[in-house]
Amino acid sequence: MSEYKVLDHVDEYLKLGREYNCSDVHLATAYPPAWRRFGALAPIWPDHPPLLPEETEGLVRSFLGKDEWDRLQERGDIDFAYQGSDGRYRASVVKQRLGYDMVFRVINTQMRTMEEIGLPIEHIIPLTRYQNGLILITGSVGSGKSTTLASIIDFINKDREDHILTLEDPIEYVFESKGCHVNQREVHKHTESFARALRGALREDPDVIMVGEMRDLETIQLALTAAETGHLVLGTLHTGNAPRTLDRVLDVFPIDQRDQIRIMVSESLRGILSQQLVPTLDGASRALATELLVNTPAVANCIREGRTYMLPGIMQTGKHVGMITMDESLRHLYIRGIISAEDLLFRSEDKAQMKIFLQS
Protein backbone atom coordinates (compact mmCIF):
# COMPACT_ATOMS: atom_id res chain seq x y z
CA MET A 1 0.00 0.00 0.00
CA SER A 2 1.43 3.39 -0.93
CA GLU A 3 2.19 5.90 1.83
CA TYR A 4 0.95 8.72 -0.40
CA LYS A 5 -2.51 10.19 -0.03
CA VAL A 6 -4.00 12.17 -2.93
CA LEU A 7 -4.10 15.83 -1.90
CA ASP A 8 -7.54 17.43 -1.54
CA HIS A 9 -7.07 20.43 -3.80
CA VAL A 10 -5.02 21.18 -6.92
CA ASP A 11 -3.60 24.28 -5.16
CA GLU A 12 -1.53 21.98 -2.92
CA TYR A 13 0.21 20.45 -5.98
CA LEU A 14 0.59 23.86 -7.61
CA LYS A 15 2.23 25.31 -4.50
CA LEU A 16 4.81 22.50 -4.66
CA GLY A 17 5.37 23.13 -8.37
CA ARG A 18 6.01 26.82 -7.75
CA GLU A 19 8.33 26.08 -4.79
CA TYR A 20 10.47 23.76 -6.91
CA ASN A 21 10.68 26.11 -9.88
CA CYS A 22 8.60 24.04 -12.33
CA SER A 23 7.16 25.25 -15.62
CA ASP A 24 4.17 22.83 -15.60
CA VAL A 25 2.26 20.55 -13.22
CA HIS A 26 0.49 17.46 -14.67
CA LEU A 27 -2.37 15.70 -12.85
CA ALA A 28 -3.58 12.92 -15.15
CA THR A 29 -5.65 9.77 -14.79
CA ALA A 30 -3.54 6.56 -14.72
CA TYR A 31 -0.31 8.54 -14.18
CA PRO A 32 1.29 9.73 -10.92
CA PRO A 33 1.27 13.49 -10.15
CA ALA A 34 4.10 14.93 -12.27
CA TRP A 35 5.89 18.16 -13.04
CA ARG A 36 8.10 19.58 -15.77
CA ARG A 37 11.35 20.98 -14.40
CA PHE A 38 14.02 22.45 -16.68
CA GLY A 39 12.33 20.85 -19.68
CA ALA A 40 12.08 17.28 -18.31
CA LEU A 41 8.77 15.66 -17.27
CA ALA A 42 8.99 13.42 -14.17
CA PRO A 43 6.73 12.19 -11.33
CA ILE A 44 6.78 14.52 -8.30
CA TRP A 45 7.26 11.45 -6.06
CA PRO A 46 8.96 8.46 -7.77
CA ASP A 47 6.85 5.81 -5.98
CA HIS A 48 3.47 7.59 -6.01
CA PRO A 49 0.78 5.31 -7.53
CA PRO A 50 -1.09 6.44 -10.68
CA LEU A 51 -4.12 8.65 -10.02
CA LEU A 52 -7.50 6.91 -10.25
CA PRO A 53 -10.40 8.33 -12.34
CA GLU A 54 -12.39 9.28 -9.22
CA GLU A 55 -9.31 11.03 -7.76
CA THR A 56 -8.71 13.18 -10.83
CA GLU A 57 -12.44 14.01 -11.00
CA GLY A 58 -12.29 15.13 -7.36
CA LEU A 59 -9.28 17.33 -8.17
CA VAL A 60 -11.05 18.82 -11.22
CA ARG A 61 -14.10 19.65 -9.10
CA SER A 62 -11.84 21.16 -6.42
CA PHE A 63 -10.95 24.15 -8.56
CA LEU A 64 -13.55 24.51 -11.33
CA GLY A 65 -16.49 26.87 -10.89
CA LYS A 66 -19.96 25.82 -12.07
CA ASP A 67 -19.64 27.63 -15.45
CA GLU A 68 -16.30 25.97 -16.22
CA TRP A 69 -17.57 22.52 -15.12
CA ASP A 70 -20.62 22.89 -17.39
CA ARG A 71 -18.40 24.00 -20.30
CA LEU A 72 -16.11 21.00 -19.72
CA GLN A 73 -19.09 18.59 -19.80
CA GLU A 74 -20.38 20.20 -22.97
CA ARG A 75 -17.11 20.58 -24.91
CA GLY A 76 -14.81 17.94 -23.40
CA ASP A 77 -11.95 20.37 -22.84
CA ILE A 78 -11.39 23.84 -21.44
CA ASP A 79 -8.44 26.14 -20.89
CA PHE A 80 -8.41 29.35 -18.93
CA ALA A 81 -6.31 31.46 -16.55
CA TYR A 82 -6.67 30.09 -13.04
CA GLN A 83 -5.96 32.23 -9.98
CA GLY A 84 -4.71 29.76 -7.36
CA SER A 85 -4.04 30.45 -3.70
CA ASP A 86 -0.42 31.42 -4.43
CA GLY A 87 -0.37 32.64 -8.03
CA ARG A 88 -1.71 32.48 -11.57
CA TYR A 89 -1.70 29.45 -13.87
CA ARG A 90 -2.74 28.64 -17.41
CA ALA A 91 -5.03 25.68 -16.77
CA SER A 92 -6.05 23.06 -19.31
CA VAL A 93 -8.52 20.27 -18.47
CA VAL A 94 -9.47 17.54 -20.95
CA LYS A 95 -11.73 14.51 -20.81
CA GLN A 96 -10.02 11.43 -22.22
CA ARG A 97 -10.63 7.69 -22.47
CA LEU A 98 -9.57 6.94 -18.90
CA GLY A 99 -10.79 10.06 -17.08
CA TYR A 100 -9.67 13.68 -16.69
CA ASP A 101 -6.25 15.16 -17.37
CA MET A 102 -5.12 18.54 -16.02
CA VAL A 103 -2.05 20.53 -16.98
CA PHE A 104 -1.13 23.80 -15.28
CA ARG A 105 1.45 26.18 -16.76
CA VAL A 106 3.00 28.21 -13.94
CA ILE A 107 2.77 31.93 -14.74
CA ASN A 108 5.49 33.92 -13.04
CA THR A 109 3.53 37.05 -12.28
CA GLN A 110 6.83 38.80 -11.63
CA MET A 111 7.43 40.50 -14.98
CA ARG A 112 10.96 39.90 -16.27
CA THR A 113 12.81 42.55 -18.25
CA MET A 114 14.34 41.90 -21.66
CA GLU A 115 17.80 42.12 -20.02
CA GLU A 116 16.91 39.48 -17.41
CA ILE A 117 15.69 37.07 -20.10
CA GLY A 118 18.84 37.62 -22.14
CA LEU A 119 17.27 39.13 -25.28
CA PRO A 120 19.48 41.11 -27.70
CA ILE A 121 17.94 44.41 -26.51
CA GLU A 122 20.08 46.76 -28.63
CA HIS A 123 18.52 45.20 -31.74
CA ILE A 124 14.99 44.61 -30.40
CA ILE A 125 14.39 48.11 -28.96
CA PRO A 126 14.58 49.78 -32.43
CA LEU A 127 11.84 47.37 -33.64
CA THR A 128 9.53 48.43 -30.76
CA ARG A 129 9.79 52.10 -31.72
CA TYR A 130 8.09 51.75 -35.10
CA GLN A 131 4.61 53.27 -35.32
CA ASN A 132 3.38 50.40 -37.48
CA GLY A 133 4.41 46.96 -38.72
CA LEU A 134 4.57 43.37 -37.54
CA ILE A 135 6.92 41.77 -34.98
CA LEU A 136 6.65 37.98 -34.61
CA ILE A 137 7.86 35.91 -31.64
CA THR A 138 8.08 32.24 -32.59
CA GLY A 139 9.06 28.90 -31.08
CA SER A 140 7.63 25.57 -29.98
CA VAL A 141 5.28 25.12 -27.01
CA GLY A 142 7.13 25.91 -23.77
CA SER A 143 9.93 27.89 -25.42
CA GLY A 144 9.21 31.06 -23.42
CA LYS A 145 7.30 33.04 -26.08
CA SER A 146 4.78 34.45 -23.57
CA THR A 147 7.54 35.61 -21.22
CA THR A 148 9.41 37.29 -24.09
CA LEU A 149 6.26 38.94 -25.44
CA ALA A 150 5.34 40.22 -21.96
CA SER A 151 8.82 41.70 -21.44
CA ILE A 152 8.64 43.53 -24.80
CA ILE A 153 5.12 44.87 -24.06
CA ASP A 154 6.31 45.94 -20.59
CA PHE A 155 9.19 47.85 -22.21
CA ILE A 156 6.81 49.57 -24.67
CA ASN A 157 4.47 50.37 -21.75
CA LYS A 158 7.30 52.33 -20.07
CA ASP A 159 8.93 53.69 -23.23
CA ARG A 160 5.93 55.13 -25.12
CA GLU A 161 2.77 57.13 -24.40
CA ASP A 162 0.27 55.16 -26.43
CA HIS A 163 -2.73 52.82 -26.25
CA ILE A 164 -1.76 49.13 -25.97
CA LEU A 165 -4.41 46.48 -26.51
CA THR A 166 -3.64 42.81 -25.73
CA LEU A 167 -5.74 39.89 -27.01
CA GLU A 168 -4.87 36.71 -25.12
CA ASP A 169 -6.05 33.15 -24.53
CA PRO A 170 -5.88 33.28 -21.56
CA ILE A 171 -4.51 36.49 -19.97
CA GLU A 172 -1.22 35.51 -18.35
CA TYR A 173 0.76 38.55 -17.25
CA VAL A 174 -1.29 41.44 -15.88
CA PHE A 175 0.00 44.84 -17.06
CA GLU A 176 -0.47 48.01 -15.04
CA SER A 177 -0.70 51.13 -17.22
CA LYS A 178 2.64 53.00 -16.98
CA GLY A 179 3.50 55.42 -19.80
CA CYS A 180 0.80 53.76 -21.92
CA HIS A 181 -2.89 53.03 -21.39
CA VAL A 182 -3.18 49.20 -21.43
CA ASN A 183 -6.36 47.19 -22.10
CA GLN A 184 -6.34 43.38 -21.85
CA ARG A 185 -9.01 41.14 -23.37
CA GLU A 186 -9.30 37.38 -22.87
CA VAL A 187 -10.61 35.16 -25.67
CA HIS A 188 -13.70 33.13 -24.57
CA LYS A 189 -14.21 35.44 -21.58
CA HIS A 190 -14.37 38.92 -23.13
CA THR A 191 -14.62 37.97 -26.82
CA GLU A 192 -15.34 34.78 -28.77
CA SER A 193 -12.17 34.56 -30.91
CA PHE A 194 -8.88 36.29 -31.77
CA ALA A 195 -10.30 37.31 -35.16
CA ARG A 196 -13.44 38.83 -33.59
CA ALA A 197 -11.33 40.69 -31.02
CA LEU A 198 -8.95 41.97 -33.73
CA ARG A 199 -11.84 43.30 -35.81
CA GLY A 200 -13.13 45.10 -32.73
CA ALA A 201 -9.63 46.31 -31.84
CA LEU A 202 -9.33 48.41 -34.96
CA ARG A 203 -12.28 50.52 -33.74
CA GLU A 204 -10.71 51.13 -30.32
CA ASP A 205 -7.92 53.44 -31.54
CA PRO A 206 -4.95 51.32 -30.36
CA ASP A 207 -1.34 52.12 -31.28
CA VAL A 208 0.08 48.73 -30.28
CA ILE A 209 -1.81 45.43 -30.55
CA MET A 210 -0.55 42.19 -29.02
CA VAL A 211 -2.13 39.04 -30.50
CA GLY A 212 -1.50 36.05 -28.20
CA GLU A 213 -1.59 33.54 -31.05
CA MET A 214 -1.92 33.95 -34.82
CA ARG A 215 -3.43 30.54 -35.45
CA ASP A 216 -5.73 30.86 -38.49
CA LEU A 217 -6.17 32.62 -41.82
CA GLU A 218 -8.59 35.28 -40.57
CA THR A 219 -6.41 36.25 -37.57
CA ILE A 220 -3.24 36.44 -39.71
CA GLN A 221 -5.07 38.47 -42.38
CA LEU A 222 -6.44 40.95 -39.83
CA ALA A 223 -3.04 41.24 -38.10
CA LEU A 224 -1.38 42.06 -41.44
CA THR A 225 -4.07 44.63 -42.25
CA ALA A 226 -3.66 46.24 -38.82
CA ALA A 227 0.14 46.34 -39.30
CA GLU A 228 -0.34 48.05 -42.67
CA THR A 229 -2.85 50.61 -41.42
CA GLY A 230 -0.75 52.30 -38.75
CA HIS A 231 -0.60 49.85 -35.81
CA LEU A 232 2.42 48.06 -34.36
CA VAL A 233 1.30 44.41 -34.08
CA LEU A 234 3.14 41.80 -31.99
CA GLY A 235 2.11 38.18 -32.36
CA THR A 236 3.28 34.61 -31.75
CA LEU A 237 3.48 31.56 -33.99
CA HIS A 238 4.49 27.94 -33.28
CA THR A 239 7.35 27.84 -35.79
CA GLY A 240 11.02 27.06 -35.29
CA ASN A 241 12.85 29.67 -37.35
CA ALA A 242 12.38 32.76 -39.52
CA PRO A 243 12.12 31.11 -42.99
CA ARG A 244 9.54 28.57 -41.69
CA THR A 245 7.58 31.38 -40.03
CA LEU A 246 7.26 33.25 -43.32
CA ASP A 247 6.31 30.05 -45.16
CA ARG A 248 3.66 29.34 -42.50
CA VAL A 249 2.17 32.85 -42.80
CA LEU A 250 2.01 32.56 -46.60
CA ASP A 251 0.76 28.95 -46.66
CA VAL A 252 -2.49 29.76 -44.82
CA PHE A 253 -3.61 31.95 -47.73
CA PRO A 254 -5.24 30.63 -50.91
CA ILE A 255 -2.72 30.31 -53.77
CA ASP A 256 -4.29 33.13 -55.79
CA GLN A 257 -3.70 35.61 -52.92
CA ARG A 258 -0.10 34.69 -52.14
CA ASP A 259 1.64 37.19 -54.44
CA GLN A 260 -0.32 40.04 -52.88
CA ILE A 261 0.34 38.71 -49.33
CA ARG A 262 4.07 38.40 -50.04
CA ILE A 263 4.13 42.11 -50.93
CA MET A 264 2.13 42.98 -47.78
CA VAL A 265 4.47 40.95 -45.54
CA SER A 266 7.62 42.31 -47.21
CA GLU A 267 6.41 45.87 -46.48
CA SER A 268 4.95 45.44 -42.98
CA LEU A 269 7.32 42.93 -41.32
CA ARG A 270 9.75 44.53 -38.83
CA GLY A 271 11.40 41.43 -37.43
CA ILE A 272 11.07 37.79 -36.36
CA LEU A 273 12.50 36.56 -33.06
CA SER A 274 12.59 32.74 -32.85
CA GLN A 275 13.62 31.06 -29.63
CA GLN A 276 14.12 27.79 -27.80
CA LEU A 277 15.06 26.90 -24.23
CA VAL A 278 17.94 24.40 -24.02
CA PRO A 279 18.80 22.40 -20.86
CA THR A 280 22.09 23.60 -19.37
CA LEU A 281 25.05 21.27 -18.80
CA ASP A 282 24.52 21.25 -15.02
CA GLY A 283 20.84 20.29 -15.50
CA ALA A 284 19.77 23.07 -13.09
CA SER A 285 18.17 25.47 -15.59
CA ARG A 286 17.65 26.23 -19.27
CA ALA A 287 19.47 28.63 -21.57
CA LEU A 288 17.78 30.83 -24.17
CA ALA A 289 18.89 30.42 -27.79
CA THR A 290 17.51 33.11 -30.11
CA GLU A 291 17.39 33.70 -33.85
CA LEU A 292 16.71 37.25 -35.04
CA LEU A 293 15.65 38.28 -38.53
CA VAL A 294 15.43 42.02 -39.19
CA ASN A 295 13.58 43.17 -42.31
CA THR A 296 16.23 44.83 -44.50
CA PRO A 297 15.80 45.63 -48.24
CA ALA A 298 17.51 42.28 -49.08
CA VAL A 299 15.11 40.37 -46.76
CA ALA A 300 12.07 42.20 -48.18
CA ASN A 301 13.20 41.30 -51.69
CA CYS A 302 13.48 37.60 -50.75
CA ILE A 303 9.97 37.63 -49.26
CA ARG A 304 8.47 39.39 -52.32
CA GLU A 305 10.04 36.88 -54.68
CA GLY A 306 9.12 33.87 -52.53
CA ARG A 307 12.75 32.90 -51.93
CA THR A 308 12.66 32.30 -48.18
CA TYR A 309 15.29 29.53 -48.59
CA MET A 310 17.85 32.32 -49.19
CA LEU A 311 17.21 33.98 -45.81
CA PRO A 312 19.80 32.04 -43.73
CA GLY A 313 22.52 33.29 -46.10
CA ILE A 314 21.29 36.89 -45.81
CA MET A 315 21.13 36.55 -42.02
CA GLN A 316 24.81 35.51 -41.96
CA THR A 317 25.72 38.82 -43.60
CA GLY A 318 23.30 40.95 -41.55
CA LYS A 319 25.13 40.87 -38.22
CA HIS A 320 25.48 44.69 -38.17
CA VAL A 321 21.68 44.98 -37.64
CA GLY A 322 21.67 42.15 -35.09
CA MET A 323 20.71 39.23 -37.32
CA ILE A 324 21.74 35.82 -36.03
CA THR A 325 20.67 32.31 -37.02
CA MET A 326 19.53 29.72 -34.47
CA ASP A 327 22.60 27.55 -35.25
CA GLU A 328 24.97 30.47 -34.50
CA SER A 329 23.15 31.17 -31.23
CA LEU A 330 23.40 27.49 -30.21
CA ARG A 331 27.10 27.44 -31.15
CA HIS A 332 27.76 30.46 -28.90
CA LEU A 333 26.08 28.64 -25.97
CA TYR A 334 28.17 25.52 -26.62
CA ILE A 335 31.47 27.44 -26.93
CA ARG A 336 30.72 29.16 -23.59
CA GLY A 337 30.26 25.72 -21.97
CA ILE A 338 26.55 26.26 -21.22
CA ILE A 339 25.01 23.43 -23.28
CA SER A 340 26.15 19.94 -24.27
CA ALA A 341 27.34 18.76 -27.71
CA GLU A 342 24.31 16.39 -27.82
CA ASP A 343 21.85 19.25 -27.34
CA LEU A 344 23.76 21.42 -29.80
CA LEU A 345 23.42 18.74 -32.50
CA PHE A 346 19.86 17.72 -31.59
CA ARG A 347 18.53 21.30 -31.77
CA SER A 348 20.49 22.60 -34.76
CA GLU A 349 18.99 23.18 -38.20
CA ASP A 350 21.98 22.16 -40.33
CA LYS A 351 23.11 18.95 -38.61
CA ALA A 352 25.74 18.07 -41.24
CA GLN A 353 27.43 21.44 -40.77
CA MET A 354 27.18 21.15 -36.99
CA LYS A 355 28.86 17.69 -37.04
CA ILE A 356 31.78 19.23 -38.98
CA PHE A 357 31.97 22.05 -36.39
CA LEU A 358 32.04 19.54 -33.51
CA GLN A 359 34.78 17.46 -35.15
CA SER A 360 36.99 20.45 -35.86
Residue 240 phi, psi dihedral angles, 5° rounding:
-90, -30
Give residue 171's pLDDT band: very low, low, confident or very high (50, 70, 90). confident
Instruction: Average the pLDDT over each of 12-21, 182-191, 263-272, 334-343 and give the range with the smallest value.
Output: 182-191
Q: Is 223 left (phi over 0), alpha (psi -120 to 50) or beta?
A: alpha
Q: What is the pTM of this model?
A: 0.89
Say yes or no to pLDDT of 7 above 60: yes
Tell me the residue ranges of DSSP E strands in 140-268: 163-168, 181-186, 208-211, 232-237
Q: What is the mean pLDDT of the chain?
A: 93
- pLDDT tens sequence across 179-213: 999 999 988 888 888 889 999 888 899 999 999 88
pLDDT the model gives residue 101: 97
Rounded mean pLDDT, 132-145: 94
How does pLDDT run across 305-331, given as a tens digit for each residue? 999 999 999 999 999 999 999 999 999
Tell me the percentage of the chain whose pLDDT exceeds 70: 99
Contact predicate 210/149, CB 8 Å: yes
Predicted confidence band of residue 1 (pLDDT cuts 50, 70, 90): very low
Residue 3 has pLDDT above 70, yes or no: no
Instruction: Delineate the domains of the chain, giving CATH numbers in brackets.
Output: 10-107 (3.30.450.90), 114-359 (3.40.50.300)
